[in-house]
């Protein structure tokens, strides 16, 4: 059995590390990778396709929305499950329904909702999300 790969991307390193740690606890069999910016995340993803990614929207350079579109283009036949995470509610509303993301969540993240979305998606992928 192969285990899922979850990518966490946020330019705020403490937020990224904390979310990565929490997801690692909820998904002990998953590989949780953390990147501190869009380009770093794209580099990681190109080496190992994530099954899911939680992306901060507001990052310098390659922001979360551009990163989401780049990931969909990189994996046209098997795009990762993409969740936007932002404290900017106006921006979240603006991207809703554009096809860039599968779900949009506001910061601070509702961890129960985030974990539930990931469990549902990763279990459907045929990979064991929780061990």
In the chain the first and final C-alpha atoms are separated, in Å, by 11
CA-to-CA distance for 124 and 120, rounded, in angstroms? Answer: 6
Whether residue 128 is predicted with pLDDT greater than 60 in this model: the reply is no
Prediction pTM value = 0.92
Torsion angle, CA of 100/117/47/67, rounded to 10 degrees?
A: 20
Calculate the average pLDDT of the chain: 92
In the chain, what are the domain boundaries?
5-124
What is 5-124's CATH number?
A: 3.40.50.2300
CA-to-CA distance for 95 and 99, rounded, in angstroms? Answer: 8
**61-103 confidence digits (pLDDT tens):** 999 999 999 999 999 999 999 999 999 999 999 999 899 999 9
Structure confidence at residue 77 (pLDDT): 93
Give ∠ CA 40-74-25 in degrees, rounded to 5: 55
Q: How confident is the model at residue 127 (pLDDT cuts 50, 70, 90)?
A: low
The pLDDT of 12-40, averaged and rounded, is: 96
């Amino acid at each position: 059995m192969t285990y899922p790969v979850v990518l966490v991307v946020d330019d705020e390193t403490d937020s990224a590390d904390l979310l990565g740690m929490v997801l690692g606890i909820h998904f002990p069999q998953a590989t949780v990778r953390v990147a501190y910016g869009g380009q770093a995340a794209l580099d990681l993803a190109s080496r190992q396709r994530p099954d899911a990614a939680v992306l901060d929207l507001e990052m310098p350079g390659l922001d979360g929305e551009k990163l989401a579109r780049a990931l969909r283009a990189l994996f046209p036949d098997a795009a990762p499950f993409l969740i936007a995470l932002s404290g900017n509610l106006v921006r979240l509303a603006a991207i809703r329904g554009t096809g860039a993301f599968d779900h949009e969540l506001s910061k601070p993240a509702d961890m129960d909702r985030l974990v539930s979305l990931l469990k549902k998606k990763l279990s459907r992928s045929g990979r064991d999300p929780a061990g």
